[in-house]
Amino acid sequence: MARKCIYCGKEVHADSVIDFCERCGEGVWGKKMFNTIVKNMKEAREKGDLVSTNTIGIQKLEKLGYKGF
């Protein structure tokens, strides 16, 4: 399943560690910083340190007893 870039709406692959396309990422941070961000995010995912905010929100709701998922 694909996601959309938060800036331009272009499709971003579901396995991507970022929520924006390469073009927008480079446009916002520049090529060198963008590549560093992606590298660090991939390393964090491999270590298990990368958690989506959606996952955190769902975990909090589950602790409150919400079972509507």
Domain coverage including residue 21: 3-63
Question: For residue 69, is it within any domain?
Answer: no
Using an 8 Å Cβ cutoff, are 18 and 38 in contact?
A: yes
One digit per residue, pLDDT tens: the chain, 69 residues? 568 988 999 999 888 888 889 999 999 999 999 999 999 989 888 887 766 555 555 555 566 676 654
Question: For residue 68, is it within any domain?
Answer: no
Question: For residue 56, is it within any domain?
Answer: yes
Domain count, the chain: 1
Distances (CA, A) of 18 to 41, 54, 59, 64: 8, 14, 21, 29
* Predicted structure pTM score: 0.65
